[in-house]
A and B are shown apart, each in its own frame.
Chain A
């Protein structure tokens, strides 16, 4: 079990840290735009500071969340309007991240198949996109997607090497 804590970073830091108060979950709601995705990520990774993750694990979470939310901005909310909701929650299995939006659903009702990028092709043919889902699949322990009542929910688990619980 995570003995760690999500932490809310305050600008003024007026309140001293109090071990009697524990932040178990943070929820951010923001406009689906690249700059707001960036700010939300900085806020979320600031909160992760309390989890005492390795730099490598923390950067993996940041990268996966960036890819997921960039996809929402680019595809689900391609019309430029809409919101994204991001929830980070400690759980016994690891860090559970839930990302919701009310934009378009994924084509085919599921995340696209992951394709291993190919560096061996001739330079002019090198891909410049399509890395996002590959990185998400490589770095998240578990990914699930569903669309209910016009709302997309993507749940991501980061187990950080913890063994999965028996079902």
Chain B
């Protein structure tokens, strides 16, 4: 799966250019995330703005991507559509991620922190 990424200071923003993050692409997504984030900075923001459907396989692959980052780096989420947000909320997995309104907000946080 092709993922787009943009680097800022201390931050990597990964954008998923797919409308569906589901069982058909979950493994490819996880593999692509592993390759992209091998030397990622402390914060990785996953921008899901284009994604309007996420199933439990997609959810598992996002959690897998977070675990791949290890303890010293953090996966954050941005721009969840209502349908995607619902999956995180019902499974209570919204509690393990910092969720931003959009990736711009996430980047501003870096500037403010710096």
Residues of A that sit less than 8 Å from B by CB: 34-35, 37-38, 55-56, 59-60, 62-63, 66-67, 70, 73-74, 116-120, 123-124, 126-129, 131-132, 134-135, 138-139
Q: A127-B60, A128-B64 are in contact. List 10 more A-B contacts (CB 8 A).
A: A37-B24, A63-B53, A70-B55, A119-B91, A119-B95, A123-B66, A123-B67, A126-B96, A131-B60, A131-B91
For chain B, what secondary structure do more than half of its interface residues adopt (helix, strand, loop), or is it mixed?
A: helix
Tell me whether A34 and B96 are in contact in the complex, defined as CB-CB below 8 angstroms, given that A67-B55, A129-B60, A131-B91 are known contacts: no
B24 & A38 in contact (Cβ 8 Å cutoff) = yes
| Min CB gap B72→A, angstroms | 11
Query: Contact between A126 and B91 (Cβ–Cβ < 8 Å)?
Result: no
Residues of chain B whose beta carbon lies under 8 Å from any beta carbon of chain A: 20, 22-24, 53, 55-57, 59-61, 63-64, 66-67, 71, 82-83, 86-87, 90-93, 95-96
Contact A131 B59, beta carbon cutoff 8 Å:
yes
